[in-house]
Amino acid sequence: MNSCHVRRSNHAFISCRISNNGQYIGLDVHKEAITVAVRNGAGKLVMESILETKANTLFEFLSGVGGEFHVTLEEGTSLAWL
């Protein structure tokens, strides 16, 4: 079963456990677009994308990543809807 939780410190961390594939996703969220970078467990950049700033667009992207992944983003004014 999928499970997600949010942990806050200087940044907000959203972790979702799906399987054991260890990928790391960084989000730069702005009003008009979200810039996304995906790195594998070795730190190699495996994907970059620019998404429309809409929840369903982001969830569709994250669903396509697959495996276990961790998401990090800077806490700011855009965090409220995430």
Render pLDDT for 44-71 as a digit per residue (tens, 0 to 9).
889 999 999 888 899 899 888 878 888 8
Name the band, by pLDDT with cuts 50, 70 and 90, for residue 31.
confident
- pLDDT at position 77 is 74
Residue 24 CB: number of other CB atoms within 10 A? 16
Question: Token pair for residue 49?
Answer: 């994308």
Element (H, E) at 55: helix 55-65
Both tokens assigned to 72 = 């990090």
Higher pLDDT, 1 or 72: 72
Spatial strand order of the sheet with 45-52 comes to: 3-8, 12-17, 69-73, 23-29, 33-40, 45-52
What pairs with residue 17 in β-bridges?
A: 3
